[in-house]
Chains A and B, each alone.
Chain A
Amino acid sequence: MSDLSFDIAHLLAGGLVLISLLMLYQDRLTALINVFAAQAVTLSLSVAWQAYVQQAPHLYVTAVIALAFKALAIPVALHRIIKRLGIHREIDQVVGVGPTMLAGIGLVALALVVMLGVTSEADRLAREDLAFALSVVLLGLLMMITRRNAVGLVVGFMSLENGLVLAAAGAKGMPLVVEISVAFSVLVAFIVIGVFLFRIRERFETVDVAALDRFRGGQG
């Protein structure tokens, strides 16, 4: 593999991590969804580049799926949802931006240490790819626990899933079936959670998950 192709793969995967960190920083839902769309575009570029480098045409399908569903369909739908719910201007953070960012940086470092330590025999590209993918997964999880709003949870979950697709694309010979099933499972989860949001809205006049906790007798 030439240095150039490695550098480009590195750049795109690194970009994915960078955008994940950007997502942590967003405290408004509209901006958050836009950044998520940008991450999905980066993911699709990254997967397409992997398809080109590995000469695996089926990965182009994955790239197209990522672009169509995650970069277009889901963000558009989420924008509509938050407009209909009237929460597009709400500020949604539990932990402050500063600590969250510090934690995110720590997670990226942890992911790199773990992955580079474990995969010392794998080839260079796959190592970097897996390290970045784990970072994205961890950042997605971090976002899920620092958001109060259910839409934030959904976006965090899908960002996590972007990391999985990145890892799948980086590993040579991963069959397409898996990617499609993963993508569809995310889509299904999105639909389910979407329906769930509207149910919450009907009952509690809010999509704040704290309302659920109060309903169950917790302190929120």
Chain B
Amino acid sequence: MTPLQILLAGAGALLGLAPAVVALGRSPGARALTYGGALTLCGLTGAVALLSLLGLASPTGDAVLPLGLPWVGARFHLDALSAAFLVVVNLGGAVASFYALGYGRHETEPQRVQPFYLAFLAGMNLVVLAADAFSFLIAWEVMSLASWALVVARHREAGNVRAGYVYLLMASFGALSLLLAFGLLAGPQGAYAFDAMRAHRAAGAVAALVLALAILGAGSKAGLVPLHVWLPLAHPAAPSHVSALMSGVMTKVAVYAFIRIVFDLAGPPDWWWSLPVLVLGGATTVMGVLQALMQQDLKRVLAFSTVENVGVVFIGLGLALAFRAAQLPAAAALSMTAALFHVFNHAAFKSLLFFGAGAVQEATGERDIERLGGLIQRMPQTALAFLGGSLAISALPPLNGFVSEWLTFQAILMSPRLEAWALKLLVPAVGALMALSAALAAACFVRVFGIVFLGRPRSAAAGGARETDLFCRTALLALAGICLVVGVLPGFVIDALAPAAEAAVGGRLPAQVSQPWLSIVPIAESRSSYNGILVLAFIAGSAGMCAAAIHQFASRQTRRGPAWDCGAPDPSPATQYTAASFAQPIRRVFATTLLAAREDVDMPQPGELRASRFQATIGDPIWRTLYAPIAWSVDLAAERLNRLQFLTIRLYLSLVFFALIGLLLVLALWT
């Protein structure tokens, strides 16, 4: 069998398992079958995709199945780009399945989750493999609808139904945009196969329209601001292993769709194509991380942080477009590699963080970080893994998040080579936004980790937490290990991604593994290089020496001194630092304008006995200015049209009659 056949068989088997799981219903066997089967199949397909990405198995392949449109068939194609994304999808899928072997035990209604979980995985695999618009959109819709079903699986919890509704609307909107984009690419002949689209390129206004539609379609699924509104609602609503897949993997499938359409199908870019992508990417990073800083719900923080990371990926893609249009293949390859690397990294650490959030939620029943605390004593291994994920997402060396953001900054530093003045000015500004968001992301995860895992428990539930089960811990620590290894040895990943970047932008970075001491040197030794091993060794060495010095020289003698509050603390956990107070300075500086944050102090008059009140509120200007008017006008139109439902029979007949007469009159007057 060729790799492509194995991959298709794997996706087909995932789809085929779903009815079997439905038949098994609520039995524990269904859980084992679902997650065990998904683990096996994702592991297999991920391994095959990895082998073909590394060139060990045949890297390309084509298949045409006799399904779908009769003159197109269902076409599938494997190339380096799809292989790279398949690795991300199936790594995420396999780890999530392993995690769910333990986590799924807590599911109250597993029959609402398991079949859709399998269909969701199959849909994501097929989107990446599809090679004609028809199969692409079908797979895309399978992915969307299955994930929608997973979002509303716990439909009795407050807010989940609304989350599902908003998600469904945005998903339909995105699919419609992609449909129109493919329609434009196919041209009047209706050439829906990707090969045929490549053969005759779109140009001028049509290409611009395709770009706009691709941004709308893929961007709404990936969570680009201002199309991100569904994401922070829907991702937390799903069970945690599904949240991890939606945040870590599904947004990446959307990134794949963008790359496939804009870089591959729409043809060689003009320089200005990068403008909207860069602007939206920059806005997305800052808005995402600011919102993440303001949230109290742990999974919501993570969902907004996904928005931020999608922004980072899109900045990389925008740079790749700019450099490719400027005929700078090495810089384009650097930007594309950075974007793909960040795709992989984000899939790893965001899955890890969502798994950690799921473990915390199962252990305490809480998602509100203001009611957690002190979990590092009760869940030490979860805390360790979560700390690793937080460090990685905050882009601290020697973890993987640092490498991809560093590569993106290297690409930003190449911007003086661009010719267009608009880009010369815009790219550094976007770089500043990204730097700001990286710092804010670090603040955000200091806040999350510090409030959730450090300090004293803020509620009885947090005080009674127990360490999570073995499957969950293994999945968490495995992902933390991946984050560390990839961060220390990034050269291997960069080399593995090189063919994918080459497929997208036509250039490739110099081979990194052959560099001395496994450094990475994206452009030239004289400009910049990074060595993960060295940084790790330095951190381990200096930390070890500090610890040794303290143990060696610090006195163990008991000292007596006057009592002060830190020595004899008030036992109430309310005296601790809170998440809201941590975020307050940032809220005052940035969120007052960007998020319409308001603080209201209600101070009683002298002599009044009531307590004073302080209330901090966060608005959402994007929702208010963009979505609320749309919702209002749709409501108005629906209300007006609703009257048509209550006409008499004769009036309905008259409507038909007069419509017919009108059309005939047009015909009579026209000819």
A141-149, A162-170, A172-180: which lies at the interface: A141-149
Q: Evaluate whether A117 and B671 lie within 8 angstroms (CB atoms) in the complex, with A110-B664, A110-B665, A141-B657 already known.
A: yes
A11 close to B (CB within 8 Å):
no
A218 close to B (CB within 8 Å):
yes
Residue among A94, A138, A145, A217 with most chain B CB within 10 A: A145
Name the residue of chain B whose CB is nearest to the CB of A210: B648
Give A115 Cβ to nearest chain B Cβ, in Å.
9
B661: contacting residue among A94, A110, A212, A218, CB under 8 A: A110
Query: DSSP class of A's interface residues: helix, strand, loop or mixed?
Result: helix
Name the residue of chain B whose CB is nearest to the CB of A220: B648
Cα A6 to Cα B661 with chains together (Å): 29
Query: Which A residues, 162 to 220, have Cβ-Cβ distances below 8 Å to chain B?
Result: 209-210, 212-213, 216-218, 220
Question: Is A113 touching B648 in the complex (CB atoms < 8 A)?
Answer: no
Question: Is B646 touching A216 in the complex (CB atoms < 8 A)?
Answer: yes
B668 close to A (CB within 8 Å):
yes
Q: Size class of A's contact patch?
A: 20 to 34
Cα A110 to Cα B660 with chains together (Å): 11
Question: Is A209 touching B648 in the complex (CB atoms < 8 A)?
Answer: yes
Give A181 Cβ to nearest chain B Cβ, in Å.
22
Cα A204 to Cα B477 with chains together (Å): 74
**Per-residue interface assignment for chain A, residues 120 to 155, with 1 indicating a CB less than 8 Å from any chain B CB and 0 otherwise:** 000000000000000000100110110010000100
Give A158 Cβ to nearest chain B Cβ, in Å.
15
Question: Is A213 touching B649 in the complex (CB atoms < 8 A)?
Answer: yes
Measured between beta carbons, the chain B residues less than 8 angstroms from A212 are 648-649
B653 close to A (CB within 8 Å):
yes
B650 close to A (CB within 8 Å):
yes
Measured between beta carbons, the chain A residues less than 8 angstroms from B668 are 110, 113-114, 117
Query: DSSP class of B's interface residues: helix, strand, loop or mixed?
Result: helix
B667 close to A (CB within 8 Å):
yes
Measured between beta carbons, the chain B residues less than 8 angstroms from A111 are 664
Q: Evaluate whether A209 and B667 lie within 8 angstroms (CB atoms) in the complex, with A110-B661, A141-B657, A141-B660 already known.
A: no
Question: Is B648 touching A213 in the complex (CB atoms < 8 A)?
Answer: yes
Name the residue of chain B whose CB is nearest to the CB of A137: B660
Give A74 Cβ to nearest chain B Cβ, in Å.
20
Query: Which B residues, 624 to 671, have Cβ-Cβ distances below 8 Å to chain A?
Result: 646-650, 653-654, 656-657, 660-661, 664-665, 667-668, 671
Measured between beta carbons, the chain A residues less than 8 angstroms from B647 are 218
Query: Which A residues, 91 to 113, have Cβ-Cβ distances below 8 Å to chain B?
Result: 94, 107, 110-111, 113
Q: Evaluate whether A114 and B648 lie within 8 angstroms (CB atoms) in the complex, with A141-B653, A142-B657, A144-B653 already known.
A: no
A1 close to B (CB within 8 Å):
no
Give A117 Cβ to nearest chain B Cβ, in Å.
5
Measured between beta carbons, the chain B residues less than 8 angstroms from A220 are 648
A118 close to B (CB within 8 Å):
yes
Name the residue of chain A whose CB is nearest to the CB of B652: A145
Give A47 Cβ to nearest chain B Cβ, in Å.
25
Question: Is A209 touching B649 in the complex (CB atoms < 8 A)?
Answer: yes
A145: contacting residue among B646, B653, B665, B671, CB under 8 A: B653
Give B303 Cβ to nearest chain A Cβ, in Å.
45
Question: Is A218 touching B657 in the complex (CB atoms < 8 A)?
Answer: no
Cα A117 to Cα B669 with chains together (Å): 10
B650: contacting residue among A94, A113, A117, CB under 8 A: A94
Apart from A113-B668, A117-B668, what are 6 other A-B pairs with CB-CB below 8 Å?
A: A110-B665, A114-B664, A213-B648, A213-B649, A218-B648, A220-B648
Give 5 closest A-B pairs by Cβ, nearest first: A213-B648, A145-B654, A113-B668, A117-B671, A145-B653
Chain A residues in contact with chain B, CB under 8 A? 94, 107, 110-111, 113-114, 117-118, 138, 141-142, 144-145, 148, 153, 209-210, 212-213, 216-218, 220
Q: List 11 A-B contacts (CB under 8 A).
A: A107-B661, A110-B668, A114-B667, A117-B667, A118-B667, A138-B660, A138-B664, A145-B650, A145-B654, A153-B649, A218-B646
